């Protein structure tokens, strides 16, 4: 009996001493691979995906852990490319966009079915998309569909205004900036002429709040509008008004509010996946239980033990089942980094999600080159500055704090980060970065900034101290250290939500500021639910740690953070010129020109230094060498049908420098085959345009 | 039984002290704790003066990044450094301040509130006992994490009462807003730490209150408070002291857990518990980051218990006869 | 006695409701809500959510509705985990916590009681010092340190036991040992102290004087009184063990109630918080009642009026 207590003691003692003397617990076996490495006999992947999914209903949850599960269970019109995350054909074999970029026609494949064998048609997409917008569902992701015509008014419960003659009042009639659109004589025939199409092509109708009180308040403020709508009928915006149209069983039309070049990429999001109407309506909120669920993806849900595991098995009725390699996919909802690393080492899991290797372990694990995956993500870290409070209302002070941070040292210290001095992530949008370099060089000339000075924006303590002095807070050297006695440090704080990495970054920055400016900024960590309202309500002073993850692969997803007066940036900054630049950019059809305009906006915002960009995140996760077709893409969302288990050790990756540039015949062929239908469509339309030109 | 204490009067404590000094382990415990208290009180200042390191001092040539890393123990850093290159010795000493404060304050609360509450409930019995113990049950069932969250949001940040700000400025130097939170934490921990103590004491008192010496005291007209605190409580002292020494580690760990959730001690400060929980993650790579705070904490708790046992024996004159 | 038990049982319900009310108030004061995220939700979406969950109604209506549901034993659906009934979550995850909790407590009883009794009988002997020192180790090595250390040795070096996750008896060993370490220490020390106290009380002396042999004195009379502090401690200890311990559940990836409860608080998932709080408070109160009842059996001097 007492030996158990002694055993406990002994074990602890044993480990402690062993650790001290050998100084390395982690290399075992041959040392070639990390921990136990034996490929499973079956095509079976065990994956750690973060927290327990909030829901398996594609329309409901917002997080990445859910996205990864839903991507296995449900298919959409398009799917993420496993490497680049661009949209590639899924249930939509191909698609085409109208000339003005506001309309898309999707051609659906005919052999897609739900897991119960029922064919998937355009009607199912129509239902799924409209359901996801329904106010009764109260989906947090609904805003993702707001680019679609009348989606926002429907989701918000707004009303149209109808004249007695049956026509509607249009937006251009009340908006002084908008001109009446030219009425073309011939109706737009793109995708066929239908009554619904005509309704969608009609100029944008005016929408007003559905709630009487809210509406009355709005009209009270705007007498002109009030006069215009007085005595008119208010008609509720319904699901039928939204810009979705079923042209036939296999043709689906989407009408956008304005051109959105990133729209196709956005459609791969889990929010736009197709669900089975009868099942959803029959079981209500319980429809995602394993016994009720009907899925549309490559896998079906065999069992779900919350907080323990989800068992997914290949769906033989899936339209592309012949090319789904895994027979079984087990997803473990785990969040503790040490625990999942232990499971990985013991050979109990095959891969983990992003940011899962603890900072202290990285030096040790990164030697297993083919297992450790660390590439830039479409996600950034930055400190927002509350620019309305003293002393941070002074741009010189803001710049001083930004320049006093050695981002290279920060990146070296955290080991996984890429230093960042702009707001859009480094190395994610190469074409945008090209356009930006061009735009910036013009602006720098205009503003009289030398390229050297611009280069040094990543770290320039000299200039930082000079700026502080200009702002009235001289920094002096006393006894070998910098001090800034006049700086009102009580009005400045760093708030961040609790996490190991946020803490050590905050401590690092605190030390940098102390060293380079002589200012010790107090740190204040909070649990997430306290932190969010504090930063949102601008209830902090100084700096707030923020991060942002792309919704889709376009820089706009980052720049939109500062769009409009009530923006998400938590800085209190807003500029009409910025909004206009973004609007104009999105109306621009030429991709390069559009990027240039976005870059102009980014320059405008960054010159104000309303944020201190710190770093582009990196993926930082591990997979066993026998897991193939699983790539460290910028969003850590995986199209599971490309993943396979390679049992032949000879074919495992060996000393791969960059896995993204590595060819894998099996995966590459699979991708090419899927892309073919869309490539054909594009070639055909190009040929048609050429023929027409002739 | 020991109802002859009153006759001994003032010499009781003197005797106990003498007996305590005879107990080698207890003396060892006492010495370690006194040294520990001295170390955490003046230690950080000494280190700052001799080597220039403080708990939040990150090496200055940060630009190179070479010193901002975990270094094993050396002459300059007897306990090594943490991942930011900060001196672990300074951090352990500074962490000791917070951990010892947490332990002592919560234990005092549990002794004062818990013992009186439990003793009164147990002795009075009946309706009073019932109501008092049901209150304990209710407080015990309220999730303390929620209490801490609410406490910090209502009294934390800019709303911190002035006297707490004053206290933390005395305690950690000017501009240490981060320490406000730890003072709020003392309340939260104190609020829950006395509950089990109250139950333990009540259980003891229930079994003692019908014994002859109590009945005798009652018959001779001794007042109720006197019976409770002069006759009953001293006789229940054994389990009370043991339980009090058990309270210290448990509140230290609760504090570490709250820090882990982001509602405990504020960076760059740390406590032993939070140092150990940071250290365990890197045990395979940088073992000193766990061993030194861990061993320091264990040594303190060990000593505390030896002292507790010694005190228990010393205060109980009957022990030696058995 | 029977009426005492009955009265206490009846009292549990209003007390649990009181606990729920206080908790509900605390949730309302605490900042944040279950749907808040980094991205500001469009007003319409937020309004839809508030309407869906009745958060737009006056507080007394919400409170009344909540209480009415609880009185009927229905805690509704989780807000964060849409469509999952709270009752089902508790039913599903309680057994995990209960299994390791009970096993850990049994182990602790076995080791702790025995060590405590022997140490008390052989006071100041090497065994006494040794066992108390070992038990101190259990107390001063936090479980978030002990757990990973055990994993390191038995799962990652020796590959004897799985490092984490639920499944089979072998997966229970490490979490149970980790969880019981601190309770072994508590029980050993409380038993030792309680026994020392009792062994020199009058009735033991009487028993000895009557010429009963030492074993009978010890087991029949000494132990009964000596373990009273242990019993007082057992109520809350067992209740909190059954409720699950966050650290052990996290380290060993066990889907127990403890972690779910902490998450629900951090998520401000009101129905789930209230459901678990109500369940746990009833559990605590029932255990405390059992403790009070057992006092009477253990020590005939304790009487209930």
* Nearest CA-CA partner of A384 in A549, A525, A573, A533: A573
The pLDDT of B186-204, averaged and rounded, is 83
Chains that touch C (3 or more CB pairs under 8 A): A, B
b/e code C94-109 from CB counts within 10 Å (16+ = b): bebbbbbbebbbebbb
Q: Is residue C47 part of a domain?
A: no
3-state secondary structure of A613: strand
Of the candidates A28, A138, A288, the beta carbon closest to that of C83 is on A288
Using a CB–CB cutoff of 8 Å, tell me whether A1 touches chain C.
yes
Q: Is residue B96 part of a domain?
A: yes
Q: Which residues of A touch B269 (CB under 8 A)?
A: none
Residue A618 above 60 pLDDT?
yes
Here the tokens at position C267 are 């998520």
Distance from C-alpha of A9 to C-alpha of A23, rounded to nearest angstrom: 20
Q: Is residue B3 part of a domain?
A: no
Question: How many Cβ contacts (< 8 angstroms) between chains A and B?
Answer: 111
Using a CB–CB cutoff of 8 Å, tell me whether A338 touches chain C.
yes
Which phi and psi angles does B271 have, rounded to 5°? -120, 170
Which phi and psi angles does A610 have, rounded to 5°? -85, -10
B12 within 8 A of B314, measured Cβ to Cβ: no
Helix (H) or strand (E) holding A524: strand A523-526
- At C105-121, the pLDDT tens digits run 999 999 998 898 888 88
Q: Which residue of chain A is at minimal alpha-carbon distance from C35? A: A140
pLDDT, position C300:
66
Binary contact (A346, C159; C-beta < 8 A): yes
Confidence of residue A536 (pLDDT cuts 50, 70, 90): confident
- The region that residue A172 occupies, defined by phi over 0 for left and psi between -120 and 50 for alpha, beta otherwise, is alpha
- State the smallest CA–CA distance between residue B91 and chain A in angstroms: 14
Q: Is residue C293 part of a domain?
A: no
Distance from C-alpha of B194 to C-alpha of B118, rounded to nearest angstrom: 9
Domain at C202, CATH number: 1.10.3720.10
More confident residue, B261 or A517: A517
- At A441-454, the pLDDT tens digits run 999 999 888 888 88
- At A125-178, the pLDDT tens digits run 999 999 999 998 988 899 899 999 999 999 999 999 999 988 899 988 887 666
pLDDT, position C157:
83
Here the tokens at position A410 are 């920060």
pLDDT, position A119:
96
* Nearest CA-CA partner of A246 in A360, A108, A392, A437: A108
Residue A350 above 70 pLDDT?
yes
pLDDT, position B171:
59
Binary contact (A409, B63; C-beta < 8 A): yes
pLDDT, position A174:
82
Binary contact (B137, C285; C-beta < 8 A): yes
Residue A14 above 80 pLDDT?
no
Q: Is residue B221 part of a domain?
A: yes
pLDDT, position C61:
92
| Residue A262: count of CB within 10 angstroms of its CB | 18
Using a CB–CB cutoff of 8 Å, tell me whether B275 touches chain A.
no
Which phi and psi angles does A79 have, rounded to 5°? -125, 155
More confident residue, A520 or C288: A520
Distance from C-alpha of A529 to C-alpha of A525, rounded to nearest angstrom: 12
Confidence of residue B281 (pLDDT cuts 50, 70, 90): confident
Give the domain extent around C145: 92-255
* Nearest CA-CA partner of A431 in A595, A616, A603: A595
Q: Which residues of B touch C149 (CB under 8 A)?
A: 280, 283
Q: Is residue B180 part of a domain?
A: yes
Which phi and psi angles does A248 have, rounded to 5°? -150, -175
pLDDT, position C302:
62
Candidates A359, A360, A502, A516, partner chain B, best to mutate (most B CBs within 10 A): A360
Q: Which residues of B touch C36 (CB under 8 A)?
A: none
Using a CB–CB cutoff of 8 Å, tell me whether B284 touches chain A.
yes
pLDDT, position A327:
96
Q: Which residue of chain C is at minimal alpha-carbon distance from B310? A: C124
Which phi and psi angles does A112 have, rounded to 5°? -80, 135
Confidence of residue B170 (pLDDT cuts 50, 70, 90): low
Residue A694 above 80 pLDDT?
no
277-296 in chain C: CB under 8 A from chain A: none
Candidates B62, B153, B172, partner chain A, best to mutate (most A CBs within 10 A): B62
Confidence of residue B173 (pLDDT cuts 50, 70, 90): very low
- What total of structural domains would you count in chain C? 1
132-151 in chain C: CB under 8 A from chain A: 134-135, 137-138, 141, 146, 148-151
* Nearest CA-CA partner of A57 in A247, A328, A320, A301: A301
Residue B136 above 50 pLDDT?
yes
Residue B230 above 60 pLDDT?
yes
Give the domain extent around B267: 20-54+80-315
B69 within 8 A of B85, measured Cβ to Cβ: yes
Confidence of residue C283 (pLDDT cuts 50, 70, 90): confident
Q: Which residue of chain B is at minimal alpha-carbon distance from A541? A: B158
Q: Is residue C225 part of a domain?
A: yes
Binary contact (B62, A412; C-beta < 8 A): no
Residue B88 above 50 pLDDT?
yes
Domain at B203, CATH number: 1.10.3720.10
pLDDT, position A149:
94
The pLDDT of A297-313, averaged and rounded, is 94
More confident residue, C133 or A671: A671
For the ranges A246-260, A285-299, B59-73, B284-298, which has the lowest average pLDDT? B59-73
A81 within 8 A of A87, measured Cβ to Cβ: yes
Residue B218 above 60 pLDDT?
yes
Q: Are strands A207-208 and A476-478 parallel, antiparallel or unpaired?
A: unpaired
Confidence of residue B317 (pLDDT cuts 50, 70, 90): low
Which phi and psi angles does A35 have, rounded to 5°? 70, -160
Within 13 Å of residue B169, how many CA atoms lie on the same side as its CB?
10
Q: Is residue C297 part of a domain?
A: no
Distance from C-alpha of A414 to C-alpha of A614, rounded to nearest angstrom: 12
Report the first-to-last Cα separation within chain C, whole angstroms: 8
A647 within 8 A of A626, measured Cβ to Cβ: yes
Residue A13 above 50 pLDDT?
no
Binary contact (C26, B150; C-beta < 8 A): yes
Residue A603 above 90 pLDDT?
yes
Contacts of A645 (CB under 8 A, 6+ apart): A39, A40, A42, A43, A44, A45, A325, A326, A626, A627, A628
214-243 in chain C: CB under 8 A from chain A: none
Q: Which residues of C touch B239 (CB under 8 A)?
A: 190, 193-194, 197, 229
C50 within 8 A of C56, measured Cβ to Cβ: yes
Distance, CA of A535 to chain centre:
20
Of the candidates A498, A500, A512, the beta carbon closest to that of B261 is on A498
Here the tokens at position A69 are 């599960």
Here the tokens at position B19 are 């007996």
Distance from C-alpha of A689 to C-alpha of A479, rounded to nearest angstrom: 75
Q: Which residue of chain B is at minimal alpha-carbon distance from C263? A: B261
The pLDDT of A525-542, averaged and rounded, is 87
Q: Which residues of C touch B200 (CB under 8 A)?
A: 229, 232-233
Binary contact (B266, A504; C-beta < 8 A): no
Q: Is residue B154 part of a domain?
A: yes
The pLDDT of B135-145, averaged and rounded, is 86
Of the candidates B203, B250, B284, the beta carbon closest to that of C231 is on B203
Binary contact (B149, A527; C-beta < 8 A): yes
Q: Is residue C286 part of a domain?
A: no
Residue A6 above 60 pLDDT?
no
**CA A40, A45, A50, A52: dihedral to nearest 10 degrees?**
-110
Residue A318 Cα distances to A116, A302, A327, B197, B236, angstroms: 10, 15, 13, 62, 73
Confidence of residue B54 (pLDDT cuts 50, 70, 90): confident
Distance from C-alpha of C299 to C-alpha of C203, rounded to nearest angstrom: 11
Confidence of residue B60 (pLDDT cuts 50, 70, 90): low
pLDDT, position B12:
64
Q: In chain A, pLDDT over 90 holds for what percent of residues?
A: 58
Binary contact (B246, C189; C-beta < 8 A): yes
Q: Is residue C220 part of a domain?
A: yes
- State the smallest CA–CA distance between residue B265 and chain A in angstroms: 9
Q: Where are the beta strands (DSSP E) in A315-463?
A: 328-332, 372-373, 376-385, 418-419
Q: Is residue B13 part of a domain?
A: no
Q: In chain B, pLDDT over 70 holds for what percent of residues?
A: 84
Q: Is residue C34 part of a domain?
A: no
- What total of structural domains would you count in chain B? 1
For the ranges A548-552, B166-170, C168-172, which has the lowest average pLDDT? B166-170
Q: In chain C, pLDDT over 70 holds for what percent of residues?
A: 98
- Average pLDDT of the residues of chain A: 88
**H-helix segments, B142-177:** 144-155, 162-172
Q: Is residue C299 part of a domain?
A: no
């Amino acid at each position: 009996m007492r030996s158990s207590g002694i055993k406990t003691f002994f074990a602890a003692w044993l480990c402690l001493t062993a650790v001290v003397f050998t100084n390395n617990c982690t290399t075992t076996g041959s040392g070639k691979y990390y921990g136990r490495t034996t490929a499973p006999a079956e095509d079976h992947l065990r994956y750690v995906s973060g927290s327990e999914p909030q829901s398996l209903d594609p329309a409901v949850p917002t997080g990445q852990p859910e996205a990864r599960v839903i991507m296995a269970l449900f298919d959409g019109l398009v799917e993420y490319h496993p490497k680049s995350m661009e949209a590639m054909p899924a249930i939509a074999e191909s698609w085409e966009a109208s000339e003005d970029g506001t309309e898309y026609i999707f051609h659906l494949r005919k052999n897609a079915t739900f897991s119960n064998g029922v064919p998937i048609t355009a009607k199912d997409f129509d239902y799924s998309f409209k359901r996801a917008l329904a106010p009764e569902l109260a989906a947090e992701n609904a805003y993702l569909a707001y680019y679609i015509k009348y989606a926002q008014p429907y989701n918000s419960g707004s009303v149209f205004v109808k004249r007695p003659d049956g026509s509607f009042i249009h937006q251009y009639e009340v908006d002084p900036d908008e001109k009446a659109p030219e009425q073309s004589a011939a109706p737009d025939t793109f995708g066929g002429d239908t009554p619904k199409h005509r309704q969608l092509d009609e100029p944008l109708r005016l929408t007003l709040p559905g709630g009487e009180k809210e509406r009355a308040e709005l009209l009270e403020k705007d007498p002109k509008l009030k006069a215009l709508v007085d005595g008119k009928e208010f008609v509720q915006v319904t699901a039928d008004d939204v810009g979705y149209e079923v042209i036939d069983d296999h043709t689906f039309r989407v009408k956008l509010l304005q051109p959105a070049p990133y729209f196709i990429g956005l459609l791969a999001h889990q929010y736009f996946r197709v669900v089975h109407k009868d099942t959803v309506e029959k079981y209500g909120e319980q429809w995602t239980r394993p016994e009720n669920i009907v899925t549309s993806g490559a896998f079906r849900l065999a069992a779900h033990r919350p907080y323990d595991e989800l068992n997914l098995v290949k769906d033989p009725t899936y339209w592309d089942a012949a090319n789904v390699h895994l027979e079984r996919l087990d997803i473990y909802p785990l969040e503790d980094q040490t625990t999942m690393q232990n499971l990985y080492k013991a050979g109990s899991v095959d891969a983990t999600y992003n940011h899962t290797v603890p900072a202290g372990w990285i030096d040790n694990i990164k030697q297993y080159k083919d297992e450790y995956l660390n590439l830039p993500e479409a996600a950034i870290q930055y400190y927002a500055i509350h620019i309305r409070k003293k002393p941070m209302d002074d741009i010189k002070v803001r710049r001083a704090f930004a320049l006093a941070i050695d981002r290279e040292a920060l990146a070296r210290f955290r080991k996984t980060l890429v230093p960042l001095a702009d707001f859009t992530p480094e190395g994610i949008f190469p074409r945008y970065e090209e356009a930006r370099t061009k735009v910036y060089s013009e602006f720098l000339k205009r503003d009289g900034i030398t390229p050297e000075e611009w280069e040094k924006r990543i770290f320039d303590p000299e200039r930082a101290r000079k700026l502080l002095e200009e702002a009235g807070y001289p920094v002096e050297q006393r006894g070998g250290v910098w001090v800034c006695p006049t700086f009102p440090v009580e009005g400045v704080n760093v708030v961040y939500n609790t996490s190991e990495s946020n803490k050590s970054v905050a401590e690092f920055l605190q030390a940098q500021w102390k060293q380079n400016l002589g200012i010790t900024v107090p740190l204040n960590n909070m649990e997430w639910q306290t932190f969010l309202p504090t930063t949102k309500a601008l209830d902090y002073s100084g700096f707030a740690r923020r991060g942002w993850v792309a919704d889709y692969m376009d820089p706009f997803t980052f720049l939109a953070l500062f769009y409009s007066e009530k923006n998400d940036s938590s800085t209190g900054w807003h500029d009409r010129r910025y909004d206009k630049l973004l609007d104009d950019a999105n109306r621009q059809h030429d991709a390069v020109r559009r990027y240039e305009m976005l870059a102009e906006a980014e320059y405008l915002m960054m010159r104000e230094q309303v944020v201190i960009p710190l770093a582009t995140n990196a993926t930082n996760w591990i997979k066993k060498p026998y897991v193939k077709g699983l790539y460290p893409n910028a969003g850590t969302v995986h199209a599971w049908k490309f993943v396979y288990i390679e049992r032949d050790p000879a074919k495992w990756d060996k000393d791969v420098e960059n896995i993204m540039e590595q060819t894998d015949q099996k995966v590459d062929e699979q991708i090419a085959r899927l892309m073919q239908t869309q490539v054909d469509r594009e070639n055909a339309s190009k040929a048609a345009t050429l023929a027409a030109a002739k | 039984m020991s109802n002859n204490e009153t006759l001994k009067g003032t010499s009781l404590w003197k005797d106990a002290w003498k007996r305590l000094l005879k107990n080698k382990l207890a003396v060892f415990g006492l010495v370690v704790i006194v040294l520990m208290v001295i170390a955490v009180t003046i230690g950080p200042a000494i280190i700052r003066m001799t080597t220039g390191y403080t708990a939040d001092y990150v090496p200055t040539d940060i630009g190179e990044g070479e010193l901002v890393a975990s270094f094993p123990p050396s002459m300059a850093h007897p306990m090594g450094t943490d991942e930011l290159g900060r001196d672990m010795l300074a951090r352990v000493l500074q962490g000791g301040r917070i951990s010892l404060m947490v332990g002592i304050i919560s234990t005092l609360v549990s002794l004062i509130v818990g013992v009186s509450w439990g003793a009164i409930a147990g002795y009075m019995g009946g309706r009073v006992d019932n109501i008092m113990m049901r209150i304990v049950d209710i407080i015990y069932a309220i999730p303390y994490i929620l209490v801490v969250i609410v406490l910090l949001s209502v009294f934390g940040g800019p709303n911190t009462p002035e006297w707490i700000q004053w206290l933390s400025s005395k305690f950690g130097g000017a501009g240490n807003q981060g320490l406000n939170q730890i003072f709020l934490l003392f309340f939260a921990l104190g609020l829950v730490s006395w509950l089990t103590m109250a139950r333990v004491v009540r259980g003891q008192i229930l079994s003692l209150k019908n014994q002859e010496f109590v009945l005798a005291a009652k018959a001779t007209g001794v007042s109720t408070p006197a019976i409770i605190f002069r006759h009953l409580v001293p006789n229940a002292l054994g389990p009370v002291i043991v339980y009090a020494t058990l309270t210290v580690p448990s509140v230290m760990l609760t504090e570490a857990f709250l820090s882990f959730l982001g509602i405990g001690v504020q960076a760059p400060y740390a406590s032993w518990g939070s140092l150990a929980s940071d250290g365990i993650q890197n045990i395979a790579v940088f073992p000193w980051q766990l061993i030194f705070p861990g061993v320091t904490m264990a040594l303190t708790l060990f000593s505390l218990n030896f002292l507790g046992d010694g005190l228990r024996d010393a205060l109980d004159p009957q022990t030696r006869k058995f | 006695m029977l009426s005492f038990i009955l009265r206490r049982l009846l009292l549990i319900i209003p007390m649990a409701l009181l606990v729920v009310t206080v908790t509900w108030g605390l949730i309302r004061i605490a900042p944040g809500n279950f749907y808040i995220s980094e991205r500001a939700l469009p007003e319409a979406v937020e309004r839809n959510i508030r309407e869906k969950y009745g958060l737009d109604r006056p507080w007394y209506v919400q409170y009344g509705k909540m209480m009415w549901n609880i009185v009927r034993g229905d805690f509704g659906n989780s807000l964060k985990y849409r469509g999952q009934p709270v009752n089902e979550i508790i039913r599903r995850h309680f057994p995990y916590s209960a299994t390791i909790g009970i096993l850990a407590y049994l182990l602790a009883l076995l080791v702790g009681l025995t060590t405590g009794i022997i140490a008390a009988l052989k006071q100041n002997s090497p065994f006494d010092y040794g066992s108390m020192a070992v038990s101190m180790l259990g107390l001063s090595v936090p479980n978030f340190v002990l757990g990973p250390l055990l994993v390191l040795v038995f799962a990652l070096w020796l590959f004897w036991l799985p490092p984490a996750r639920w499944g089979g008896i072998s997966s229970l060993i490490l979490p149970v040992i980790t969880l019981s370490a601190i309770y072994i220490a508590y029980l050993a020390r409380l038993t030792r102290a309680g026994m020392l106290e009792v062994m020199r009380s009058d009735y033991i002396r009487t028993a000895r004087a009557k010429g009963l042999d030492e074993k009978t004195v010890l087991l029949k009379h000494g132990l009964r009184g000596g373990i009273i502090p242990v019993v007082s401690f057992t109520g809350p200890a067992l209740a909190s063990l059954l409720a699950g311990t966050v650290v052990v559940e996290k380290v060993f990836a066990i889907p127990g109630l403890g972690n779910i409860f902490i998450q629900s608080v951090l998520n401000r998932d009101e129905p789930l918080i209230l459901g678990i709080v109500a369940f746990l408070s009833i559990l605590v109160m029932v255990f405390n009642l059992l403790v009070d009842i057992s006092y009477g059996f253990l020590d005939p001097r304790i009487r209930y009026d």
